[in-house]
Amino acid sequence: MALEQLRDFGTEMLDPLVAKLGFLNPNYISWFSLAVAGFAAWFFATAGSDKAGGMLIFAAVGLTAFAAICDAMDGQIARKHNKVSSYGDYLDHTIDRIVDAGILIAIGINTHWVDSPHLGYLAGLTTLLGSYMGTQAQSVGLGRNYRGFSRADRLMMTVIGGLIAGWQAISGTSGVGEIPIFGGEFNGMSTVLVIALLGGIYTFFVRFISARKQLIDEINAP
Protein backbone atom coordinates (compact mmCIF):
# COMPACT_ATOMS: atom_id res chain seq x y z
CA MET A 1 0.00 0.00 0.00
CA ALA A 2 2.77 2.45 0.92
CA LEU A 3 4.61 1.77 -2.33
CA GLU A 4 1.43 2.27 -4.34
CA GLN A 5 0.91 5.63 -2.63
CA LEU A 6 4.54 6.48 -3.40
CA ARG A 7 3.92 5.57 -7.05
CA ASP A 8 0.91 7.91 -7.16
CA PHE A 9 3.04 10.65 -5.62
CA GLY A 10 5.74 10.05 -8.23
CA THR A 11 3.15 10.29 -11.02
CA GLU A 12 2.02 13.66 -9.72
CA MET A 13 5.60 14.88 -9.43
CA LEU A 14 6.37 13.88 -13.03
CA ASP A 15 3.16 15.28 -14.48
CA PRO A 16 4.45 18.84 -15.17
CA LEU A 17 7.47 17.41 -17.03
CA VAL A 18 5.32 14.88 -18.87
CA ALA A 19 3.03 17.66 -20.02
CA LYS A 20 5.98 19.25 -21.85
CA LEU A 21 7.26 16.04 -23.46
CA GLY A 22 4.38 15.30 -25.79
CA PHE A 23 6.71 15.59 -28.79
CA LEU A 24 8.56 12.43 -27.69
CA ASN A 25 7.72 8.95 -28.88
CA PRO A 26 7.10 6.94 -25.67
CA ASN A 27 8.55 3.82 -27.31
CA TYR A 28 11.91 5.58 -27.67
CA ILE A 29 11.82 6.31 -23.95
CA SER A 30 11.22 2.60 -23.31
CA TRP A 31 14.30 1.70 -25.34
CA PHE A 32 16.30 4.40 -23.57
CA SER A 33 15.30 3.00 -20.17
CA LEU A 34 16.61 -0.40 -21.30
CA ALA A 35 19.98 1.13 -22.22
CA VAL A 36 20.23 2.90 -18.87
CA ALA A 37 19.34 -0.31 -17.03
CA GLY A 38 21.98 -2.13 -19.09
CA PHE A 39 24.68 0.18 -17.73
CA ALA A 40 23.30 -0.31 -14.21
CA ALA A 41 23.50 -4.09 -14.65
CA TRP A 42 27.09 -3.83 -15.91
CA PHE A 43 28.09 -1.78 -12.87
CA PHE A 44 26.37 -4.22 -10.51
CA ALA A 45 28.16 -7.13 -12.19
CA THR A 46 31.64 -5.61 -12.07
CA ALA A 47 31.72 -3.58 -8.84
CA GLY A 48 34.37 -4.69 -6.39
CA SER A 49 34.19 -4.67 -2.62
CA ASP A 50 36.62 -1.76 -2.19
CA LYS A 51 35.97 1.99 -2.14
CA ALA A 52 35.99 2.25 -5.92
CA GLY A 53 33.53 -0.63 -6.07
CA GLY A 54 31.31 1.14 -3.59
CA MET A 55 31.15 4.22 -5.81
CA LEU A 56 30.33 1.99 -8.77
CA ILE A 57 27.48 0.42 -6.82
CA PHE A 58 26.13 3.85 -5.93
CA ALA A 59 26.24 4.71 -9.64
CA ALA A 60 24.37 1.47 -10.42
CA VAL A 61 21.70 2.37 -7.87
CA GLY A 62 21.32 5.84 -9.39
CA LEU A 63 21.02 4.42 -12.90
CA THR A 64 18.50 1.82 -11.74
CA ALA A 65 16.34 4.56 -10.22
CA PHE A 66 16.69 6.70 -13.36
CA ALA A 67 15.70 3.76 -15.57
CA ALA A 68 12.63 3.24 -13.38
CA ILE A 69 11.66 6.90 -13.79
CA CYS A 70 12.00 6.60 -17.57
CA ASP A 71 9.95 3.41 -17.46
CA ALA A 72 7.19 5.25 -15.60
CA MET A 73 7.33 8.23 -17.94
CA ASP A 74 6.84 6.31 -21.19
CA GLY A 75 3.37 5.10 -20.20
CA GLN A 76 2.47 8.41 -18.60
CA ILE A 77 3.42 10.31 -21.75
CA ALA A 78 1.49 7.84 -23.90
CA ARG A 79 -1.67 8.26 -21.82
CA LYS A 80 -1.47 12.03 -21.40
CA HIS A 81 -0.76 12.76 -25.07
CA ASN A 82 -3.01 10.10 -26.59
CA LYS A 83 -0.14 7.95 -27.86
CA VAL A 84 -1.24 4.66 -26.32
CA SER A 85 -0.73 1.63 -28.58
CA SER A 86 -0.74 -2.14 -28.26
CA TYR A 87 2.85 -2.23 -29.45
CA GLY A 88 3.88 0.30 -26.81
CA ASP A 89 2.28 -1.81 -24.07
CA TYR A 90 3.91 -4.96 -25.45
CA LEU A 91 7.33 -3.29 -25.68
CA ASP A 92 7.08 -1.82 -22.20
CA HIS A 93 6.25 -5.16 -20.57
CA THR A 94 8.97 -6.96 -22.54
CA ILE A 95 11.63 -4.48 -21.47
CA ASP A 96 10.39 -4.65 -17.87
CA ARG A 97 10.97 -8.41 -17.81
CA ILE A 98 14.45 -8.08 -19.36
CA VAL A 99 15.44 -5.47 -16.80
CA ASP A 100 13.91 -7.37 -13.86
CA ALA A 101 15.84 -10.56 -14.58
CA GLY A 102 18.94 -8.88 -16.01
CA ILE A 103 19.78 -6.82 -12.93
CA LEU A 104 19.33 -9.81 -10.60
CA ILE A 105 21.52 -12.02 -12.79
CA ALA A 106 24.12 -9.24 -13.01
CA ILE A 107 24.30 -9.05 -9.21
CA GLY A 108 24.51 -12.84 -9.02
CA ILE A 109 27.57 -13.11 -11.26
CA ASN A 110 29.53 -10.58 -9.20
CA THR A 111 31.98 -12.86 -7.40
CA HIS A 112 33.07 -10.07 -5.06
CA TRP A 113 29.64 -10.10 -3.41
CA VAL A 114 27.93 -13.40 -4.22
CA ASP A 115 29.49 -16.87 -3.89
CA SER A 116 27.15 -18.73 -6.23
CA PRO A 117 25.80 -17.29 -9.51
CA HIS A 118 22.95 -19.80 -9.26
CA LEU A 119 21.37 -17.55 -6.63
CA GLY A 120 21.08 -14.77 -9.22
CA TYR A 121 19.83 -17.10 -11.94
CA LEU A 122 17.12 -18.53 -9.69
CA ALA A 123 16.12 -15.09 -8.43
CA GLY A 124 15.74 -13.95 -12.05
CA LEU A 125 13.78 -17.08 -12.98
CA THR A 126 11.30 -16.88 -10.11
CA THR A 127 10.83 -13.17 -10.79
CA LEU A 128 9.91 -13.97 -14.39
CA LEU A 129 7.57 -16.77 -13.28
CA GLY A 130 5.78 -14.43 -10.87
CA SER A 131 5.32 -11.83 -13.61
CA TYR A 132 4.17 -14.53 -16.04
CA MET A 133 1.37 -15.62 -13.71
CA GLY A 134 0.08 -12.05 -13.65
CA THR A 135 -0.05 -11.71 -17.43
CA GLN A 136 -1.33 -15.27 -17.89
CA ALA A 137 -4.30 -14.47 -15.67
CA GLN A 138 -4.97 -11.50 -17.92
CA SER A 139 -4.76 -13.67 -21.04
CA VAL A 140 -7.62 -15.90 -19.84
CA GLY A 141 -9.86 -12.94 -19.09
CA LEU A 142 -9.30 -12.49 -15.35
CA GLY A 143 -7.58 -9.12 -15.51
CA ARG A 144 -3.99 -8.42 -14.60
CA ASN A 145 -3.03 -9.93 -11.22
CA TYR A 146 -0.73 -7.67 -9.18
CA ARG A 147 -0.75 -9.65 -5.95
CA GLY A 148 2.43 -10.71 -4.20
CA PHE A 149 5.88 -9.15 -4.42
CA SER A 150 5.46 -6.31 -6.90
CA ARG A 151 7.94 -4.69 -9.26
CA ALA A 152 7.88 -1.59 -7.06
CA ASP A 153 8.80 -3.75 -4.06
CA ARG A 154 11.70 -5.27 -5.99
CA LEU A 155 12.94 -1.86 -7.15
CA MET A 156 12.87 -0.47 -3.62
CA MET A 157 14.67 -3.55 -2.31
CA THR A 158 17.37 -3.28 -5.00
CA VAL A 159 17.95 0.40 -4.24
CA ILE A 160 18.17 -0.19 -0.48
CA GLY A 161 20.37 -3.26 -0.87
CA GLY A 162 22.64 -1.40 -3.27
CA LEU A 163 23.02 1.52 -0.90
CA ILE A 164 23.90 -0.86 1.92
CA ALA A 165 26.44 -2.67 -0.27
CA GLY A 166 27.99 0.62 -1.34
CA TRP A 167 28.35 1.67 2.28
CA GLN A 168 29.86 -1.73 3.14
CA ALA A 169 32.43 -1.39 0.37
CA ILE A 170 33.47 2.14 1.32
CA SER A 171 33.54 1.50 5.08
CA GLY A 172 35.11 -1.97 4.82
CA THR A 173 32.21 -3.57 6.69
CA SER A 174 31.68 -7.29 6.06
CA GLY A 175 28.42 -9.16 5.80
CA VAL A 176 26.77 -11.35 8.42
CA GLY A 177 25.78 -15.00 8.71
CA GLU A 178 25.75 -17.55 5.90
CA ILE A 179 23.21 -18.05 3.14
CA PRO A 180 21.71 -21.57 3.28
CA ILE A 181 22.33 -23.87 0.29
CA PHE A 182 24.10 -21.23 -1.83
CA GLY A 183 26.77 -20.29 0.68
CA GLY A 184 28.39 -16.91 1.14
CA GLU A 185 27.43 -14.18 3.56
CA PHE A 186 24.41 -11.93 3.76
CA ASN A 187 25.46 -8.52 2.48
CA GLY A 188 23.67 -5.71 0.66
CA MET A 189 23.94 -7.41 -2.74
CA SER A 190 23.34 -11.05 -1.84
CA THR A 191 20.37 -10.17 0.36
CA VAL A 192 18.68 -8.53 -2.64
CA LEU A 193 18.87 -11.88 -4.43
CA VAL A 194 17.61 -13.90 -1.48
CA ILE A 195 14.59 -11.62 -1.03
CA ALA A 196 13.91 -11.58 -4.78
CA LEU A 197 14.07 -15.39 -4.89
CA LEU A 198 11.66 -15.83 -1.98
CA GLY A 199 9.45 -13.00 -3.25
CA GLY A 200 9.27 -14.56 -6.71
CA ILE A 201 8.27 -17.96 -5.31
CA TYR A 202 5.66 -16.33 -3.08
CA THR A 203 4.27 -14.26 -5.97
CA PHE A 204 4.04 -17.29 -8.26
CA PHE A 205 1.95 -19.30 -5.80
CA VAL A 206 -0.22 -16.36 -4.66
CA ARG A 207 -1.12 -15.48 -8.23
CA PHE A 208 -1.59 -19.11 -9.30
CA ILE A 209 -3.89 -19.88 -6.38
CA SER A 210 -5.87 -16.67 -6.92
CA ALA A 211 -6.36 -17.34 -10.65
CA ARG A 212 -7.16 -21.02 -10.04
CA LYS A 213 -9.91 -20.09 -7.58
CA GLN A 214 -11.47 -17.60 -9.97
CA LEU A 215 -11.39 -20.03 -12.90
CA ILE A 216 -12.89 -22.87 -10.86
CA ASP A 217 -15.61 -20.52 -9.59
CA GLU A 218 -16.42 -19.67 -13.22
CA ILE A 219 -16.68 -23.38 -14.10
CA ASN A 220 -18.95 -24.09 -11.13
CA ALA A 221 -21.10 -21.00 -11.60
CA PRO A 222 -24.77 -21.87 -12.30
Domains of the chain: 2-220 (1.20.120.1760)
What's the CA gap between 61 and 21, in Å, rounded? 25
What's the CA gap between 73 and 169, in Å, rounded? 33
Q: What is the pLDDT of residue 92?
A: 93
CB count, 10 Å around CB of 217?
9
The amino acid at residue 185 is E
What mean pLDDT is predicted for residues 108-135? 95
Say what the pTM is: 0.91
For 35-85, write each residue's pLDDT tens digit: 999 999 999 999 999 999 999 999 999 999 999 999 989 888 998 899 999
What's the CA gap between 128 and 136, in Å, rounded? 12
Percent of the chain with pLDDT over 90: 71
pLDDT at residue 2 is higher than 50: no
